[in-house]
Homo-oligomer: A and B are copies of this chain.
């Protein structure tokens, strides 16, 4: 009879990191209620008891995951730089690409949705760190451009939400609802940015209902 093979003895920190890693994957795939501590232990290659040596409860482990820091500082500084040059296309493309580009793993998005739906206490904070940053940055930029006279007078926060909405929705369709995406992602991003910027730039205000050559 084979016993469980001797597990490599690791430092507390290493274990904790591996544990969080394994748990993140599972929570993202099946949600908090859909994931058992036994599963998590097996995925991390340890006994269930050890899970509770590291985290007092399952919720505490979940909370630790949501509370983990993320750094998007490189992206934000890139945006800042393009913003100084008033390179609208690039500012919008940077934000859109960050969310659409392939290879960006769906874990965080799923985790975010699950935590919000399941009503976890820390989901607000999670949302703030992963998403609100982008709205605020983009809204601030749009505000600036309105003051420049380059964009139409529009609620900047609403506009930022609208643009990010297009992009996030695209991801949602693809990764959560399994809608196949056939065209290369650069095309998609470019199209979104085109339409949105075109709709945003200051032009002679269009008539309320502009009907164009109805041919019936």
A residues whose Cβ falls under 8 Å from a Cβ of B: 30-31, 33-34, 84-90, 110, 113-114, 116-118, 123-124, 127, 131, 145, 148-150, 152, 154-155, 158-159, 161-170, 173, 176-178, 183, 188, 191-192, 194-203, 206, 208-216
Q: Which residue from chain B places its CB closest to the CB of A84 in the assembled complex?
A: B216
Q: Which residue from chain B places its CB closest to the CB of A131 in the assembled complex?
A: B177
Q: Which residue from chain B places its CB closest to the CB of A175 in the assembled complex?
A: B116
Known: A34-B118, A116-B177, A154-B194. 12 other contacts (CB 8 A): A30-B118, A33-B34, A86-B215, A89-B209, A89-B210, A113-B176, A117-B176, A131-B177, A150-B213, A161-B166, A169-B169, A195-B200
Tell me, in angstroms, the Cα distance from A28 to B22 when the chains sit together. Answer: 28
CB A101 to nearest CB in B, in angstroms, measures 16
Q: From DSSP, what is the main secondary structure of chain A's interface residues?
A: helix
Tell me, in angstroms, the Cα distance from A87 to B194 when the chains sit together. Answer: 23
Instruction: Tell whether, in the assembled complex, residue B124 and residue A178 are in contact, meaning their CB atoms are under 8 Å apart.
Output: yes
Q: Which residue from chain B places its CB closest to the CB of A214 in the assembled complex?
A: B86
Instruction: Tell whether, in the assembled complex, residue B165 and residue A168 are in contact, meaning their CB atoms are under 8 Å apart.
Output: yes
Instruction: Tell whether, in the assembled complex, residue B165 and residue A167 are in contact, meaning their CB atoms are under 8 Å apart.
Output: yes
Q: Return chain B residues, CB-CB under 8 Å to A192.
A: 158, 162
Q: Return chain B residues, CB-CB under 8 Å to A191.
A: 154-155, 158-159, 162
Q: Which residue from chain B places its CB closest to the CB of A145 in the assembled complex?
A: B212
Instruction: Tell whether, in the assembled complex, residue B31 and residue A117 are in contact, meaning their CB atoms are under 8 Å apart.
Output: yes
Q: Return chain B residues, CB-CB under 8 Å to A159.
A: 191, 195
Residues A169 and B165 in contact in the complex (CB < 8 Å), given A113-B176, A212-B150: yes
Task: Supply 7 A–B pairs (Cβ within 8 Å), ascending by A.
Answer: A88-B211, A148-B213, A158-B183, A168-B169, A195-B196, A195-B200, A197-B210
Q: Which residue from chain B places its CB closest to the CB of A196 in the assembled complex?
A: B199
Q: Return chain B residues, CB-CB under 8 Å to A183.
A: 155, 158
Instruction: Tell whether, in the assembled complex, residue A209 and residue B169 are in contact, meaning their CB atoms are under 8 Å apart.
Output: no
Most buried by B among A124, A158, A166, A178: A166
Tell me, in angstroms, the Cα distance from A149 to B84 when the chains sit together. Answer: 37
Q: Return chain B residues, CB-CB under 8 Å to A197.
A: 199, 206, 210
